[in-house]
Copies of this chain bind each other. A is one copy, B any other.
Amino acid sequence: MTAPVRLQHGRAPLGITEVTLTPGSYLGDLQDLNASATLPHAIGKLDESGVIANLASPGGEAHRGFGFSDSDLYKTLEAVGWEIARTGTTAFDGFLDSSYRLLRAAQQPDGYLNSWGLSADSPGRWVDLQWGHELYSAGHLIQAAVALNRAGRGELMAIARPVADLIVRRFAHEGTCGHPEIETALVELYRETGEPGYLTSAKGFVERRGNPVQHTKPFGPAYFQDHAPVRDAEDATGHAVRQLYLDAGCVDVAVETGDADLLAAVQRRWDSAHRRRMFITGGMGSHFQDESFGDDHELASERSYAETCAAIADLHLSWRLLLATGEARYGQAMERVLYNAIPAAVSEDGTSFTYANPLQVRTGGRVVEYNSGRQPWFSCACCPPNVARLRASLAAYLAFADDEGLAIALPAAATLELPPQVGTGRVVITGDLEAGSLTVTPEADFLPGMGLRIRVPEWATSPQVDGAPAPVENGWLSLDTAARSTVTLDVTPTAMVADARVDAVRGSVAVQAGPTVLCAEAHDNREVDALAIDPNRPLTGDPTGATGSGAVLATGEALYRRFGEPAGDPEATPVTLIPYREWGRRGRVAMRVWLPTVDL
């Protein structure tokens, strides 16, 4: 199967060639916009930002940008790989050929390939493992090579394997990278080649974590998840993307080596992240300073960082856990980021991107580069090509096959070709989550004992099948493999509150409709900084937008006043809400997901 995560052991994802997202559907549009706009845009930016020049003269003129700039190219190549796998396009052949030439010329006789490591800016090869990102960049090269190989383009494997082989030799007994990524990459290369040395190497990188002698400046070992062995670390902590990438690698190693202990450790940290450290949009990482997870329940909207790459990483991790365990909650997490945190990161035209994804923007709020709304590129350009590789492979995150049959993890309009272990033919899904209606039509012969099931979102309180209450079991609903079923879900806008320990949004609600978190923007509402909503009055609308009854809260001269001394009366006003993922499209103005409650 042509998929980013192809487990040797565990549930088998349906790949890009097995799943066709329906054009014009929500997920289909995300994928198509990526192909038509984001991918060409990213390729153009590689040149402009110096990525190509760095590789064209490694060790020559000064290295431009961050040490990991090569990875911008690799992520883009990976996206191209999935795009070729999906459509068979030859539009990128020129880009591929010039990239291969560039990389072949830059590669050293022993396989080493990293424009920063070869430049005068670095202290030498493999010296600054903490900040140099050489293993991280190599990981993305490997991922790109695997993607292209799965699309029938093997040329990059001939470049990536010597890199991987060098790493396997060089890091046989010691060393970890300051930024995880090599771990998942080596496991995937093992899956692609069957070469057990790659899996062993990945396991080494994972198991060597927790040596706090390394990785101490300036943020301390927890930033790098080097404060404790991966089996012992309790919480999702430190730099959010690093933590989530590392845990994805841990799942890969655990699944392929049958390591239940390691898998349980990751599940524990996943709980830490999702039950105590996640914004309602699925965003992760509360702190600007070190792009890190905050403390438990430290989830301030006003300085929510929620890096785009962390949302993508969360989808990678949750998908792996879903394949490893079959538990619906992991699919729920994927749904959350796919309808909120991830799409919020990309503009309507597909060519500008967020880095941080705040849940609140105040009137006159200060703008700095990484919270400046959607930008065409960033000096640290990790997010845009990461979006591109995810969206190009989106179809491969929809469904999987296991001993029970076919499971639809992300209900969406698509056509699924049955893998041979389940049966022959296909399953056609129409409708979508936001419409609250999905019709699943099997046009297939299921093998005996093979069933068809669909994940029912947690927000759907009274799901129905063909008008009758649906017997949901552990988040899954069994469907007839021989007849069409229509699943109905209530997508009425609903006010949500947070755990009492989330101080930042106390006395406030966020409105969610189906999978979609809504927000209030100054384009549609006045006085957004003091805007309140009455959650006891009905909300009308659906995931595309909603209205409610609200008020502008009174404010006074004093910043602090005695309890019981009112600043004035709230002034009634309607509240108009749009999907969070669409914030800032009409210009960056005051916005908030969480609205104070008021009784009208």
Contacts and interface: CB of A to CB of B under 8 A. Distances in A.
A508 interface: yes
A491 interface: no
A296 B364 contact: yes
A563 B510 CA distance: 9
Interface of A: 219-220, 222, 237, 274-276, 278, 280, 286-289, 294-298, 300-303, 360, 362-366, 368, 494-510, 529-530, 532, 535, 553-564, 567, 594, 596-597
A596 B497 CA distance: 15
Contacts of A505: 503
B303 A237 contact: no
A228 to B, nearest CB: 13
Contact of A300 (B297, B302, B368, B509): B302
A365 B363 CA distance: 31
A509 B555 contact: no
Number of copies: 2
A355 to B, nearest CB: 14
A499 B555 contact: yes
A508 B500 CA distance: 12
Residue among A297, A360, A532, A553 with the highest chain B CB neighbour number at 10 A: A297
Given A275-B557, A287-B303, 11 more contacts: A237-B366, A274-B559, A286-B303, A289-B289, A294-B366, A296-B529, A303-B303, A497-B560, A497-B561, A503-B505, A503-B596
Nearest to A291: B289
Given A294-B302, A302-B294, A503-B594, A496 B274 contact: no
A560 B280 contact: yes
A494 B563 CA distance: 8
Contacts of A506: 506-508, 596
A295 B287 CA distance: 16
A504 B300 contact: yes
B302 A563 contact: no
A19 B17 CA distance: 84
Given A295-B302, A366-B295, A567 B499 contact: yes
